[in-house]
Amino acid sequence: MATVTRLYRQQIFRPSYILSRHLAEDTEFRVLNLKTTRSQPVQRKKLKKPDVLPPRSYQMPVDQDWGSVWPGPRSFHPATVPLPIRQGYVDKGAPPGKYGNAELMKIPNFLHLTPPVIKRQCEALKRFCTPWPRGLETDSKCEDHFPVEVASSNYCYSSPSIRDPMARIVTVKVKLSRIPLDEHAKDKFLRLVGDRYNESTDMLTIVTDRCPLRKQNYDYAMYLLTALFHESWRVEAWEKLKSEADMEYYDWKVSASKKSIETLFGKEHTDITHADTYSQTVDALMNEGESEYSVTKYGEAVRQMLQLPQ
Amino acid sequence: MSLLAIKNAVQIFAFRNSQVQRCIHTTAICHKVQSGRYRVTPKKDFPLTYEMANPPHRIAHRKSWNSWNTSNLQGGPRPSETAIEDLFIRKFVTGTWHSLFVSEIIIKRQHNIIRIAGIIRQTLYPRKMYFLIGYTEELLSFWLQCPVKLELQTVTDKRDVIFKYI
C-alpha cells in the first residue's frame, strides 16, 4: 500500500497545458500525506488583545467643570463618573460595583442636571425672558382682567409621534357673575347650560371635543359662549304666555297673594310697611315647603304687617 | 394495509379533535413558573449575570426593566409597535455585535430618541467598534425614523459581569 501518492497539479486544477507547464516549472509536486504524522506543528496566531486605556475618571482633577464632562442626558458610564457608586442587591456582602453593572445603565440619571449646570442654563435663558406684566401680580387681578379661562393639554410620550387625540379637547371656564345678565336672561342661561354650571363655585365650564383639531374646538367653544349669551337675552313671544301655573318656583311678585295684599291696603306693595318681610316668608314657605320654622315665621310676618299683637 | 390506514386516519382525527376540544388545561405542569429562572447544575458552574440571577418577580425590587418607555403605561400610545420595534432592535444588535454583548440589551426611549445601552467585551479593535456603532445607529435610525444612540460600556473579561455560579 502506497502511503504517499504523488499527484500532478494539472489533474487537480485546470487541464490547461500552458498553466500546467508554468506551474510545473517553478513548483514542486505536492505531497498528499495520508498518515497523520505532522512534520512540524502549525504555529497558531496568538490573538492580541487591543490596548485599553485606564478609566478616564482616574485622571480627572477635583475642581473640574462637571457640566462640560457630562453635558447632556446619557446612560451611566463608570469610566466617566468619578464616584464610587454601587447598585444591586446581594444577600451577604456589598452591592455590585459600578464597573460592568447593567443596573446602573438602566436607571435614568440626572448627572447632566447638577445645580451649577441648572444655574448656568437659567442664566443663559434669562435674556430671552420678559418681565411679568404689571397689574397682574395676583390671581384675583388676573381673573379681573381675563375672566375667560381656556385650558388644553399637550402630551409627551416616548414615541416618534407628538400627536395625541386627547390634545384636541378644549375647556373654557368663566364665572357666571362676570357675564352681564338680567334676571330673565340668567334664568334662561342656566336652563340652556344645564349641568355645566357649578352653583357652589359660580363657574360655567364648557368642554368641546367634537372637532378633530384644537383650533376648531376652541372656535366652537367661543361660538357656544356667544350663542348662549345672545340667546339668553332674547325674549321670545311665547315666553310672555307663562302663567303662575307654569312657574318652576313660587314668585311672590306675580302671585295672587301680592294682589290681595295690595287690594287690602289700597296701595302698592313697596309702600306697605313690612311687606318685604312678608313676601320673603311667603316665598320661603312656598319654595322650601312647610316646616314648623317657616310656618312660625310666616305667622310672625303676617302679624307684623297687619299690626296684630304677637 | 387498509386497516392500518384507517387506524392512522382515526388517530389523526382524534388528535385534531383533541386540539380543538382541549381548551382548558388542568395539568400541574402548566402551573409551573419557569420563564426567566435557571436550574442549578450538578457542578454548580453555570454562570449567571445579575440580570439572570434575579427572577422576573424581582423586577422593580432588585432589578429594573430592560425596556424603558411610556407605551406600556396605562393608556400609553402604540404599545404593540414599540414591542415589535424593541424585538427588532434586540435581534439586529445581537446579530451585528455577534457574541460581543455580555449583558442584556437595554432600550430606553425618551421622546423620539432611542438609547440602546449594554456591556460588550473588549475583543474588538476601537476602529471596528466605531464602525459598528455608526453602522448600527445609522441603519436603525433609518428604519425606525428617529435618532438612535448607542451607549456602550466595555469589560475586559466576560467573567466581569458574572454575578454568581449555580
Which residue of B50, B71, B146 is in closest CB contact with A103?
Answer: B50
C-alpha cell at B28: 400541574
Do A247 and A193 share a structural domain?
Answer: no
pLDDT of amino acid A161: 82
d(CA A275, CA A1): 143
CA distances (Å), origin B158, targets A25, A81, A97, A160, B148: 52, 22, 16, 35, 26
Set of chain B residues whose Cβ sits within 8 Å of the Cβ of A74? 151
The mean per-residue pLDDT over the stretch A240-259 comes to 80
Do A232 and A163 share a structural domain?
Answer: yes
Task: Determine whether A140 is exposed, middle or buried from the number of CB atoms within 10 Å of its CB (0-12, 13-18, 19+).
Answer: exposed
pLDDT of amino acid A206: 95
Tell whether A35 is covered by a domain: no
Taking an 8 Å cut-off on Cβ atoms, the answer to whether B69 and A103 are in contact is no
Which residue of B77, B119, B123 is in closest CB contact with A164?
Answer: B77
pTM across the whole model: 0.68
The mean per-residue pLDDT over the stretch A63-69 comes to 92
Range of weakest confidence among A44-58, A76-90, A155-169, B89-103: A44-58
Do A144 and A235 share a structural domain?
Answer: yes
Which residue of A75, A78, A158 is in closest CB contact with B109?
Answer: A158
Do A216 and A146 share a structural domain?
Answer: yes
pLDDT of amino acid A15: 44
How much is the mean pLDDT over chain A?
Answer: 85
Tell whether A99 is covered by a domain: yes
pLDDT surpassing 90 at residue B108: yes
Which residue of A49, A77, A108 is in closest CB contact with B153?
Answer: A77
3-state secondary structure of B162: strand
- Residues B116, B76 contacting (CB under 8 angstroms): no
- Chain A CB within 8 Å of residue B137 CB: no
Taking an 8 Å cut-off on Cβ atoms, the answer to whether B117 and A52 are in contact is no
Minimum distance, in Å, between the CA of residue A114 and any CA atom of chain B = 19
pLDDT of amino acid B161: 92
pLDDT of amino acid A16: 44
pLDDT of amino acid B2: 57
Do A99 and A162 share a structural domain?
Answer: no
Set of chain A residues whose Cβ sits within 8 Å of the Cβ of B155? 99-100
Percent of chain A whose pLDDT exceeds 70: 90
Taking an 8 Å cut-off on Cβ atoms, the answer to whether A160 and B106 are in contact is no
ipTM of the complex: 0.78
Do A197 and A165 share a structural domain?
Answer: yes
Taking an 8 Å cut-off on Cβ atoms, the answer to whether A105 and B106 are in contact is yes
Contacts for A276-280: CB closer than 8 Å, 24+ residues apart = A277/A301, A277/A304, A277/A305, A278/A302, A278/A304, A278/A305, A279/A252, A279/A253
Tell whether A54 is covered by a domain: no
- Chain B CB within 8 Å of residue A106 CB: yes
Set of chain A residues whose Cβ sits within 8 Å of the Cβ of B148? none
Do A161 and A117 share a structural domain?
Answer: no
- Residues 6 or more apart whose Cβ sits within 8 Å of residue B154: A52, B119, B120, B121, B122
- Residues B51, A102 contacting (CB under 8 angstroms): yes
Minimum distance, in Å, between the CA of residue A193 and any CA atom of chain B = 31
Domain CATH number, residue A225: 3.30.160.20
Greater confidence (B90 vs A256) lies with B90
- Residues 6 or more apart whose Cβ sits within 8 Å of residue B66: A106, B51, B104, B105, B106, B107
Tell whether A42 is covered by a domain: no
The mean per-residue pLDDT over the stretch A176-183 comes to 90
pLDDT of amino acid A8: 43
pLDDT of amino acid A97: 92
Greater confidence (A121 vs B28) lies with A121
Tell whether A7 is covered by a domain: no
Task: State the count of interchain CB pairs (< 8 A) between A and B.
Answer: 97
pLDDT surpassing 60 at residue A5: no
Domain count, chain A: 3
pLDDT of amino acid B19: 52
Minimum distance, in Å, between the CA of residue A166 and any CA atom of chain B = 11
Last residue of a domain, one of A216, A240, A264: A240
- Residues B107, B68 contacting (CB under 8 angstroms): yes
pLDDT of amino acid B40: 92
Taking an 8 Å cut-off on Cβ atoms, the answer to whether B63 and A103 are in contact is yes
Q: Which domain holds residue A279?
A: 243-306
Taking an 8 Å cut-off on Cβ atoms, the answer to whether B50 and A158 are in contact is no
